[in-house]
Amino acid sequence: MNLPNSITLSRLLGLPLILYWLHQGTEIERWLSLIIFLIAASTDWLDGYLARKLNQITELGKFLDPLVDKLLVLAPLLALIEMDLIAAWGVFLILARELAIAGWRINPNLTGNSDIKGANWWGKSKTVSQIVAIALLIAPLPSEYNLISQFAFWLSVTLTLISGVIYVIPSQKLTQN
């Protein structure tokens, strides 16, 4: 367990606080939830940066990082469904893509390769769009921002699906050769 992997796991520590404060419903607690969410999300960049800088990129890290990212994104999204702030079917599309790609990544028969691939540009933009959407939805903003929050959410759903298709297509070409 190296420093970047420890930072990756530390993102999970904020999740109970995010969910607790989000469900309390007061403006202050929603802001606290948002702050913890953004701190946890920002460590995604930090662990990757340190892994590259310290030359500590590991297969464990390439596995843990996207798994923890998924938990950090999906848990608040499920809470936001419960709060009736987003459509469940949008979250289902995100969840379906994440499960499909997770299975795809670890099955060498599908990818033609036993190495776990890191995220490409589309995967990173998907993650950023999800973080922005969740942050806007968690923040206790005036109702004038509802349209912006919903747009950000549906943009993240779209980028999630596009990134999933792009992730699978190159692997399909490799296994057909």
Q: Could you read off the pLDDT of 85-127 as tens digits, one per residue?
A: 999 999 999 999 988 887 777 775 665 555 555 567 888 899 8
Q: Give me the mean pLDDT over the 160-170 stretch.
A: 86
C-alpha distances (whole Å) from 35 to each of 21, 28, 42, 63, 145 are: 11, 11, 11, 26, 18
Span of 73-77, 113-117, 160-164 with lowest mean pLDDT: 113-117
How far is 100 from 47, CA to CA, in rounded Å? 25
Residue predicted with more confidence, 175 or 39: 39
Say if residues 116 and 59 touch (Cβ distance below 8 Å).
yes
Distance CA 167, CA 161 (A): 10
Residues 163-176, mean pLDDT to the nearest whole number:
68
Domain 1-166, CATH class in plain words: mainly alpha
pLDDT of 144 higher than 60: yes
Instruction: Compute the CA torsion angle 122, 128, 131, 135 (nearest 10 deg).
Output: -140
